[in-house]
Structure 1
Amino acid sequence: MNNNENSVQHGIFAMGDLNVAFQQYFTGKSYHNALVKDEQVNVTVSNVSFEPGARNNWHIHHNGYQILLVTGGEGWYQEAGQPAQRLHPGDVVITHDGIKHWHGATKDSWFSHIAITAGTPEWLSPVSNDEYNALA
């Protein structure tokens, strides 16, 4: 089985370090590489990578937005009350201000995306194992 590990770990942008700073908001292991973090720019741009099964908690961006540019592997994106979308390299997701959502890897694949984020995140509850395991 090809779980996309090589394509994520050796993609266009370096995978970065284990995402210890936000570990409490994730299930499983994720990796973070800040590509743009400039106090004079009102957005951050990061390469975020997920091991198979890893995902972030439900969260909301207040007074901002988040744009995800999928660069490797296979993942999920879901907004509250909507079905989950399976993501592949080249997919683009726009999360508008105030929308509750989560994103992460599929059970069997590594996953990476560039996250362009503005505003303040509000971290909520984890995506339950039952919710996650029900995804096809």
Structure 2
Amino acid sequence: MQITRSTLTTVKGPRDWFTGDVWIDAVAAAPPPSRVSANLVHFTPGARTHWHRHPLSQTVFVTEGVGLCQRRGGPVEVIRPGDRVLFEADEEHWHGAAPDRLMVHLAINEGDADHDVVHWLSPVTDEEYAAAPATS
């Protein structure tokens, strides 16, 4: 067993990955041969990732608030606490908070020497984001 005391500070999500204010807390980064990392990601209302993809998939588990997610070519979906979303390997997608709600999720990713954890793409446009169904 290994206990790691929290010494990392919450970091602001970079503008080349996110639209709006996003804050990230590292949760897990196991040493090799493990390939898993996890982050608790806090989205302010209207904040969202850019389009991106994960070569080895991503699971998002919503812990608080109301969020939105979309895979390229699919409808925008509403996600709530307890919902788990699997984005398959190389599936282009985005996720973030609803326009009027905070959203927090645990993002679980894999990466190894042959696969980056994520490939960032273009921002989600306001028009794409506005296609979301009502969240109330």
How many correspondences in the alignment? Answer: 119
Could you tell me which of 69, 75, 88 is aligned with 2:80?
A: 88
Once superposed, which parts of structure 1, at least 4 consecutive aligned residues long, lie more than 3 Å away? none
Question: What is residue 8 of structure 1 aligned with on the other side?
Answer: none
Measure, in 2, the Cα distance between the counterparts of 1:129 and 1:116.
26
**Deviation per CA, 1:15-41, whole angstroms, max 9, x where unpaired?**
x62424x33210001010111012322
Which structure 1 residue ranges, 5 or more long, are not aligned?
1-15
Could you tell me which of 60, 73, 97 is aligned with 2:89?
A: 97
1 or 2, which has the higher helix percentage? 1
Say whether 1:123 aligns with 2:120.
yes
Using the size of structure 2 for normalisation, the TM-score is: 0.83
Could you tell me which of 24, 39, 43 is aligned with 1:46?
A: 39
1 or 2, which has the higher strand percentage? 1
3-state secondary structure, aligned to 1:68: strand
Question: What is residue 55 of structure 1 aligned with on the other side?
Answer: 48
3-state secondary structure, aligned to 1:116: strand
Residue identity (%): 37
Question: What is residue 5 of structure 1 aligned with on the other side?
Answer: none
RMSD (Å), alpha carbons: 1.3
Using the size of structure 1 for normalisation, the TM-score is: 0.83
Which region of structure 1 is more displaced relative to structure 2, 44-53 or 32-41?
A: 32-41
Say whether 1:109 aligns with 2:106.
no
Measure, in 2, the Cα distance between the counterparts of 1:67 and 1:134.
23
